[in-house]
Structure 1
Amino acid sequence: MRIGVLGAAGIVPEALLKPARENPDVDIAAIAARDISRAHEFAAKHRVPEVHATYEELLADPSIDAVYNPTPNGLHGRWTLAALAAGKHVLCEKPFSANASEARLVADAAEAAGLVVMEAFHYRYHPFTRRMEELLASGELGEVQHIETAVCFPLPKFSDIRYNLSLAGGATMDAGCYAVHMARVLGGATPTVVDARAKLRSPEIDRAMTASLRFPSSATGRVRASLWSSDVLRISARVVCSGGELRAINPLSPQFWHRLSVRRGDSRSVERFSHRPSYAYQLEAFADAVLRDVPPLTSPADAIETMTAIDAIYEAAGLRPRVPTS
């Protein structure tokens, strides 16, 4: 599978180039960027063989089978739709789109084209997350009663695009999409939003968000996300069940460090997992979806549910859901 890259974003080496080197199914064939000199510099540094002058030119290349879309949030939908129109499969960075309405447009286009579109929630494919799901689904901890997820890290560079409303920025769109998605995965369903409170960096741009949730099972939930708050660094999940509890530290990138603590009644244990990068598991899943018709876990249908919850959080906090970049 020959992949073209839409943009020289900072995430590209870690998320795509490094795992591709160990994956025999994948060849990173080309890159395009808004600044062609930057594209040439990136290609030379990372040994990408071909540079296209524009995104459109890359999408028109008949030798490209799929694209990786790490453009800013507000452009995800536009370039995923363009890639589908050009007959390419897409691995799209999170969040999948600017809002739920745009996610539905992309989902419909992917279905009509018969092509794979997969959202890049890399943690979802790591054995750490699979194990949490397995523990909860087995019933050995009893019924799920309460779920807490948090993704908080400091981003004091306020000129960063993640603080840019016109590019569909905000803490809930960045760190928060992970926290919301993880709550959905651990809860086994999409919750309703009970209330939400935002801390603002500028009008309509949240630097932090806290939301209370309720799941169809009547379990409660709470998600926290921030790019700048008193929660300087917190990447965690906690699930309280009727017969036990699990606590996860750094479930997003367990290759760096992680811990899963499990309480069953009065018994406690700690589990550890592979330090193989979560991005490597993700790229394998994308290749399986494209080459072997294995449905991805982070499908367009899954993305619609996440974006629906994110829209509801913004509305509950008195803010507008994001819109695509015009």
Structure 2
Amino acid sequence: MALLLENLTFLQEYFHSTIRTLPSKTENPLKVGVLSTATINSASVIRPVETHPDVVLYAIGSRDLKQAKEYAAKYGFKVPYGSYEEVIRDPEVDFVYISLPNQLHFEWSFKALQHGKHVLCEKPITDTPYEAERLTDTAKRNNKILMEAFHWKFHPAAHVFREILDSREYGRILKTDAIMTATPAIPAKDIRWQYDLGGGSLMDMTYALSFTRYAIHAGTPDTVLHAKARPASGDERIDAAMQAHLRFTDRSGKDVYSSIYTDMARSWWCGVVPRFWELPSIHVELEHAEVTFYNAMMPHLYHYIEIKDKRSGEVLRKQAYKGGPLWGERGEAWWSTYRYQLEAFVDKLRGREPVCWQTSKDSINQMKTIDEVYCKSTLPSRPSFLDK
């Protein structure tokens, strides 16, 4: 379902970019340079920038200059470059968006920060915890902003979900269960199946872990109780699927038990029907209720937050496409998670306090947890650029 959701987001954002009047740009807008011509760019940065008054598409970098020129002409970038190095060296670029394969996230984030650029990098921020720590130190040393693009956290639905959990109306969290799968399977030649490029279901579908830690306000788990990978047929170092059970401590010092399941080649129901209904979601059991956030990854397409009260048997469903406890009057119902993310990122770059943020500390803890799960499963950590 991950690929389907991505494609639906492309269509949604293209539709809104054609039917809505694009805003006039400010006198001195921020200029973004994009590293790679990845398919995700259309949804994650191009359409959001088009609808933001204070950012313009400035530079596109590819290892193929011809491809960069074609991409620039198609989407309206001002300057095409035949290398990533030229983008980060361009003094006109204010920040870079990095959508390269996982294994290249550290290298090009590090280089961009050293060249004085702010960085918005796709998840996972790096391949190892040490790389994430190194990037954080580099950003601080250069007085630049670094953020991992966990776009789902910026959507109003995520804030309503957390508000329900934090209200204590239904008691404390006892356990969580998060899932993210691909059915039909991610194509065999996709880079997500390549160990040397930081592939693996836990790396790519790290949202399931992100949902979990967000719900609990957790750092790293006290322990990974169990982790079992289903190795890919072509490379046993790659987890085609990963199932893990973890124990966290909540803010009151109580235990919370969590399970996550990621699968890049989910079996079809009864062997004949793709599980199209199985969207990235999290189920939370509290003392007095069960709360499900359905399609937490891309709630702008469709979602619901279902509350089943154990005491009364009442079932309540909520949705939030704009506003919510953090955005208030800001935002539009048609904004994607990526558009809300860009809104917060620009606020930060302009010296304003964003309504929410993905901290570097949280990104480091995410990578530490991923590493602990791989260790428990007996699969190796992804290779580090720093080991080359």
TM-score of the superposition, structure 2-length normalised? Answer: 0.81
The residue type paired with residue 215 of structure 2 is: L
- Pairwise mapping of residues 78-93 of structure 1 onto structure 2 (< 5 A)? 78-93=107-122
SS at match of 2:369: helix
Q: Show structure 1 runs of 5+ residues with no match.
A: none
| Distance of 2:375 and 2:79 partners within structure 1 | 44
Q: 1:168 aligned to 2:198? A: yes
Q: Supply the AA of the counterpart residue of 1:238.
A: H
How far, CA to CA, are the matches of 2:122 and 2:353 in structure 1?
A: 19
Distance 1:311 1:156 in 2: 23
Q: Which residue of 1 aligns with 2:25?
A: none
Name the counterpart of 1:198: 229
Once the two structures are overlaid, the 10-residue window that deviates more, 199-208 or 88-97, is 199-208
Q: Does the 8 A contact of 1:311 with 1:321 survive in 2?
A: yes
Asked if 2 retains the 8 angstrom alpha-carbon contact of 1:163 and 1:170, the reply is yes
| 3-state DSSP of counterpart to 1:221 | strand
Paired residue type of 1:105:
R
1:297 Cα deviation from its structure 2 partner: 2.0
The 3-state SS of whatever aligns with 2:340 is helix
Name which of 339, 351, 360 aligns with 1:292: 351
Contact 1:195-1:213 at 8 Å conserved across structures: yes
Partner of 2:374: 314
Matched, 1:278 2:337: yes
Distance 2:157 2:373 in 1: 27
What's the offset of the Cα at 1:229? 2.3
Please give the alpha-carbon distance, in whole angstroms, between the structure 2 residues aligned to 1:297 and 1:2. 21
Q: Per-residue deviation at 1:293?
A: 4.4
CA distance in 1, matches of 2:224, 2:79: 46
SS at match of 2:280: strand
Q: Which amino acid aligns with 2:248?
A: F
Alignment RMSD, CA only?
1.3
Q: What is the aligned partner in structure 2 of residue 256 from structure 1?
A: 301
Distance (Å, rounded) in 1 between the aligned partners of 2:133 and 2:353: 21
Helix, strand or coil for the counterpart of 1:219? strand
Give the C-alpha shift of residue 68 in structure 1. 0.1
1:148 aligns with 2:154: no
CA distance in 2, matches of 1:172, 1:247: 21
Deviation at 1:313, TM superposition (A): 0.6
Contact kept? 2:33, 2:93, Cα under 8 Å: yes
Taking the TM superposition and a 5 Å limit, the aligned residue runs for 1:49-198 are: 49-154=78-183, 155-175=185-205, 177-190=206-219, 191=221, 192-198=223-229
Any idea what SS the aligned residue of 2:255 has? coil
Determine the C-alpha separation between the residues in 1 that align with 2:111 and 2:360. 16
Cα shift at 1:321: 0.9
Q: Which residue of 2 aligns with 1:235?
A: 280
Q: Which amino acid aligns with 1:235?
A: P
Identity of matched residues, %: 33
5+ unaligned residues in a row in structure 2: which ranges? 1-29, 269-274, 322-333
Q: Distance in 1 between matches of 2:52 and 2:82?
A: 27
Do structure 1's residue 5 and structure 2's residue 29 form an aligned pair? no
Q: Secondary structure at the match of 1:215?
A: strand
Partner Cα distance (1:57, 1:184) in 2: 37
Aligned residues: 325
CA distance in 1 between counterparts of 2:384 and 2:247 reads: 28
Quick check: which one's strand share is greater?
1
Q: Deviations over 1:57-81 (max 9, x none)?
A: 1111111110001110011011000
Counterpart of 1:198 in 2: which secondary structure?
Answer: strand
C-alpha offsets along residues 53-102 of structure 1, whole Å, 9 cap, x if unaligned?
21111111111110001110011011000000000000000000001111
Contact 2:294 2:304 in 1 (8 A): yes
- TM-score when scaled to structure 1? 0.96
Q: Conserved in 1, the CA contact under 8 Å of 2:208 and 2:261?
A: yes
1:294 & 1:303 partners in 2: Cα distance? 19
2: CA distance between counterparts of 1:156 and 1:222?
Answer: 23
| Contact in 1 for aligned 2:66/2:82 (Cα 8 Å) | no
Q: Give the match's secondary structure for 1:251.
A: coil
* CA distance in structure 2 between the partners assigned to 1:186 and 1:243 by the alignment: 16
The structural deviation recorded for 1:292 is 2.1
- How far the C-alpha of 1:24 sits from its partner, in A, is 0.9
